[in-house]
Structure 1
Amino acid sequence: MSEEPAPRRRQARGERRITQLLQAAASVFCRTGYSAASTNAIAREAQVSPGTLYQYFPNKEAIAVELGGRLLQQMRETHGLAFDAANLDLPLPELVDAVLEPVIDFNCRNPAFLALMHGSGDIPGRIAEEHDAVHASMLGRIADVIGKFVPSLPADDRGRVADMTLGIVKAGLDLVLAAPEGPAREATVAELKKAVVRYLAPLLEPDPDAPARLTTTPSS
């Protein structure tokens, strides 16, 4: 059997080194935030020299762009699982569980996502733009779900409810990630799901005798 070609072996080693550096960057971003992070700190975390790091990434921004791009792609795949068509026929509590579970799991496995995307206002513009696109897609999917439950609800109201729902989820995710793994985190996850259900239930599971429309302005 012939040996593996040298270029392929070098490519595999290079990819392993990039993965090592990105994992180190994720740890540093979680610990210090993007703004305070440095390439020297990332190199120390990866247990390599700064010179080795610079063979793969010219600066901190390039590392953030690569890490953010990979995380955003994983998040897009997570959204696909969360909003699977089969989930949309579930009752509200089961629907919330089916949608939130993969999203919560992703964020627990990748705490650098929130640290990088929401931790500061100076993340690289390319990543900020891609994140905004993912955020808009998420809002659109939530609004579509609301429209499925309450077709008579005006589009502006759907968007407003979707925005508030996503805001509740984001705030809850911060508490979930701050909770120790184990029973405390599981209890926090349960509270987050409960909060989302209680917010949406009056709208998506209305009194059959009440009009299926959200009132957004006080009556005169």
Structure 2
Amino acid sequence: MVARLLASAGELFLERGYDRTTTNHVAEHAGVSVGSLYQFFPDKAALLTALQAEWGRKLHTALDAALTGEAEQLPLEQLIDRVLAVHVMLNQNPPGLLGFLYTTPGAADQQHSPTAITLHERIARLVEARGVPMSAARRAVVTQLLGHIVSALYYVGGANGPTNGTLVRETKQALLAYLRTIEAPPRSRTGFEPVA
């Protein structure tokens, strides 16, 4: 029943919008009483939080599968292709749900959705695994910036951004350009040194 309720909530959030969806709508769509819904979810926000947690796990699992073993040491272009392919794949079933969950904040005190936080955590691990020397403070900033560049898939393209081939290509180019400056060797001959 929980899975049915979450699937119904996801469909309705996409179709009607979060603000215009009620727990009554979700219960009716799932074919259960609203009382049954309240046994598992005290309100609409709890449905959203549960959906974001579920899709955060899906994103984490899919990224781990795409980046297993030596994959973290692949050439940048191939590595970026794998990460973006995960977004394209997950955002197709159902179309746009990952994008919606990614761009919708969870609890009122959160700046980012739990789904976005999952991506940022995975990017932090990836940056660390690449072994590029940098301070912890810089790594935190780099991780946030990379997460925001990937977020362009959804913030620029909307819920279905990953289906926009032009946007995916431009996101890849932005990631490549930024990561190449980070992974480039020091340029001491010109007087420029990488920021620590």
Once the two structures are superposed, residues 42-88 of structure 1 have per-residue CA deviations (whole angstroms, 9 ceiling, x without a partner) of: 23433555355446544324433432332222122123124323212
For 1:144, the equivalent position in structure 2 comes to 128
Inter-CA distance 180–84: structure 2 relative to 1 (3 Å threshold):
closer
Once the two structures are superposed, residues 183-206 of structure 1 have per-residue CA deviations (whole angstroms, 9 ceiling, x without a partner) of: xx2332222112211222222235
SS of 1:77's partner is: helix
Matching residue's letter, 1:159: A
Matching residue's letter, 1:154: S
Q: How many Å apart are 1:177 and its aligned residue?
A: 4.7
Provide TM-score, normalisation by structure 1.
0.67
Query: Are 2:97 and 2:159, in contact at CA under 8 Å, matched by a contact in 1?
Result: no
For 1:118, the equivalent position in structure 2 comes to 103
Q: Pick from 78, 88, 92: which aligns with 2:76?
A: 92
Once the two structures are superposed, residues 2-45 of structure 1 have per-residue CA deviations (whole angstroms, 9 ceiling, x without a partner) of: xxxxxxxxxxxxxxx43332111002222444444311222343
For 1:170, the equivalent position in structure 2 comes to 151
For 2:172, the equivalent position in structure 1 comes to 193
Inter-CA distance 22–88: structure 2 relative to 1 (3 Å threshold):
same
Gaps of at least 5 residues in structure 1 are 1-16
Once the two structures are superposed, residues 120-178 of structure 1 have per-residue CA deviations (whole angstroms, 9 ceiling, x without a partner) of: 464698x96x65863552242143145x2x32x33322322221111111122334455
Distance 1:194 1:104 in 2: 16
Inter-CA distance 59–202: structure 2 relative to 1 (3 Å threshold):
closer
Matching residue's letter, 1:140: A
Gaps of at least 5 residues in structure 2 are none
RMSD: 3.6
Inter-CA distance 177–164: structure 2 relative to 1 (3 Å threshold):
same
Matching residue's letter, 1:80: D
Distance 2:43 2:103 in 1: 21
For 1:72, the equivalent position in structure 2 comes to 56
For 1:37, the equivalent position in structure 2 comes to 21
For 2:67, the equivalent position in structure 1 comes to 83
Matched, 1:46 2:40: no
Distance 2:118 2:61 in 1: 11
Distance 1:121 1:180 in 2: 20
Matched, 1:214 2:194: yes
Distance 2:194 2:68 in 1: 26
Identity over aligned pairs, percent:
25
Query: Are 1:83 and 1:141, in contact at CA under 8 Å, matched by a contact in 2?
Result: no
**Residue correspondences, number:** 193
Query: Are 1:116 and 1:123, in contact at CA under 8 Å, matched by a contact in 2?
Result: no
For 1:14, the equivalent position in structure 2 comes to none
Distance 1:69 1:201 in 2: 32
Matching residue's letter, 2:75: P
Matches within 5 A, 1:100-111: 100-109=84-93, 111=96
